[in-house]
Amino acid sequence: MTKLSLGSHPYMLGFEQLERMLERSAKSGNEGYPPFNIEQTSDTSYRITLAVAGFGEGDLSITVEDRQLVIRGRQRDDSDHRVFLHRGIAARQFQRSFVLADGVEVGEALMENGLLHIDLKRAQPETVVQTINIKKG
């Protein structure tokens, strides 16, 4: 039995880009840090929440790159002035990526109690009916 991919299925035309995005997302290897939630806040909106304790607004960047939402965190190392007897709070940098479907736009980002909230909204799709004329050959 052969495995059909989206790009090779005879009734699924033009989905090669979707297949590439899924492969890229699977290879991103986010390794579980920082932990996050994704919730649906209405029929057309979502919220991604990342636990970023210890990071300030200046330590974080949010970009959209080729239909991919990318959140990066890098804390400034100020440990030269401090002596830790125990250091159990992670201060490592991270990059977390989410593939966005066509029509999904990033709204506002809000930092609250060590949680970074990013709101997403899906545009309402327009129903398009197109009639194709047949030429005589």
pLDDT in tens, 54-112: 899 999 999 999 889 999 999 876 667 888 899 887 678 999 999 898 899 999 999 99
| Beta-strand relationship, 60-64 and 68-73 | antiparallel
The residue that leads in pLDDT, 93 or 18, is 93
Q: Which domains does the chain have, with CATH numbers?
A: 32-122 (2.60.40.790)
Q: What is the pTM of this model?
A: 0.72
pLDDT value for 2 = 59
73 and 60 Cβ atoms separated by less than 8 Å: yes
Percent of the chain clearing pLDDT 90 (strictly above):
49
pLDDT value for 26 = 65
Q: How buried is residue 34: exposed, middle or buried, by Cβ count under 10 Å (0-12/13-18/19+)? A: buried
